[in-house]
Structure 1
Amino acid sequence: MSEPLAAGTQEPAFPDSGRLAGVDYGTVRIGIAICDPGRILVSPLEILRRSDTEREADFFGQLVKQERIAGFVVGLPIHCDGGESDKSRESRKFALWLHQQTGLPVRLFDERFTTADATRRLRSGGMKSAKRKQRLDAVAAQVLLEAFLEAARYAGPDELPGQSLQQAAGGGSGLDDQTN
């Protein structure tokens, strides 16, 4: 999908203010949620059905402009034991591609249990099964972004939850790299 960051290339610093987009990456659909500029409220935005990379690049370019996005948080699927899978590697490649397309900083963040939490939220809201399926990925992105923002509130002043693209390119392995 994309090449690693070139040696010596620095990705932009992750912003400490402004709107973020949470991305629940999938091979069929990509769920997207956004927060307000104060990073208090997170809302599911939409689901992008995967097709071709040119259309997806246009979509994310428009998203950045229309919603004034300052950075992205991409879900990193990690097994319960902290290990990674092919899906983890796909998410890392997608995160790098997203950075290359938009020029914005991207953090990878542990997405364990986000789909289960999203399903629980939609069920408790009384949503029917067919409608739940239509909203699930966007609500999973909402759960992911909420968790990232909560972790960021409790991190030290020089710490940021998740992994940067440079850490990801170094093959970071799950939990050990979650706060840097």
Structure 2
Amino acid sequence: MTAIPQRVLGFDYGTRQIGVAVGQTLTGNARPLRELRARDGVPDWEQIAALLREWEPDALVVGLPLNMDGTPSEMSARAQKFARRLHGRFQLPVHCIDERLSTFEAKQTLRESGRRTPASYRDNPVDSLAAALLLETWLASQTKET
């Protein structure tokens, strides 16, 4: 990690929704921004471009939903493809991070805060919170490397 504070956007990739969060290296904190609709895993690239213009990140982080034993899953292959497309379209550094259980942790965080979560995952807006959690994990790993 460089000594210059950096702003980073994190993405919790999904085939129907992609959660987005923003964080920065100075504090190592991240916060949820929003969920983007996706069609079979393909986002509206203009919405992503608008977020990049608004937040001007120095890097992007994409969560990889690995299997519990650490092996790649079909979804992690799709998330890696999404990461490659982000890099190709926007020419920013893109980092991937293991995001096992981030959505589970996001739902648990909402429950513990007293907020109800809908029974249906499709209706549950936890993707941006999951993006914030995986981004904070990545930010913490950068701090350890220095």
Q: TM-score range by the shorter chain?
A: 0.7 to 0.9
Give the Cα separation in 1 of the matches to 2:113 and 2:4. Answer: 32
Deviation at 1:80, TM superposition (A): 1.9
What stretches of structure 1 move > 4 A for 4+ residues in a row? 52-55
Deviation string for 1:28-78 (max 9, x for gaps)? 000000014624321000000114999622111111110111111000111
Among 122, 131, 146, the residue aligned to 1:141: 131
76-85 vs 45-54, which moves further = 45-54
Q: Hey, what does 1:153 align to over in structure 2?
A: 143
Amino-acid identity (%) = 33
Among 71, 77, 98, the residue aligned to 1:83: 71
Name the structure with the higher strand share: 2
> Is 1:118 the equivalent of 2:106?
yes
Contact 2:10 / 2:20 at 8 angstroms: preserved in 1? yes
Deviation string for 1:128-173 (max 9, x for gaps)? 1239944310110011001111111112x4xxxxxxxxxxxxxxxx
Larger radius of gyration: 1
Deviation at 1:79, TM superposition (A): 1.4
Q: Which has the higher contact order (CA 8 A, sep 6+)?
A: 2
Instruction: Give unpaired runs (5+ residues) of structure 2.
Output: none
Q: Hey, what does 1:74 align to over in structure 2?
A: 62
Secondary structure of the residue aligned to 1:31 is: strand
> Is 1:96 the equivalent of 2:61?
no
Instruction: Give unpaired runs (5+ residues) of structure 1.
Output: 1-13, 158-180
TM-score normalised by the chain length of structure 1: 0.71
Change over 3 Å in CA distance of 1:27–1:79 after alignment to 2: same
Q: Hey, what does 1:19 align to over in structure 2?
A: 7
Give the Cα separation in 2 of the matches to 1:75 and 1:15. Answer: 24
TM-score normalised by the chain length of structure 2: 0.87
Secondary structure of the residue aligned to 1:82 is: coil
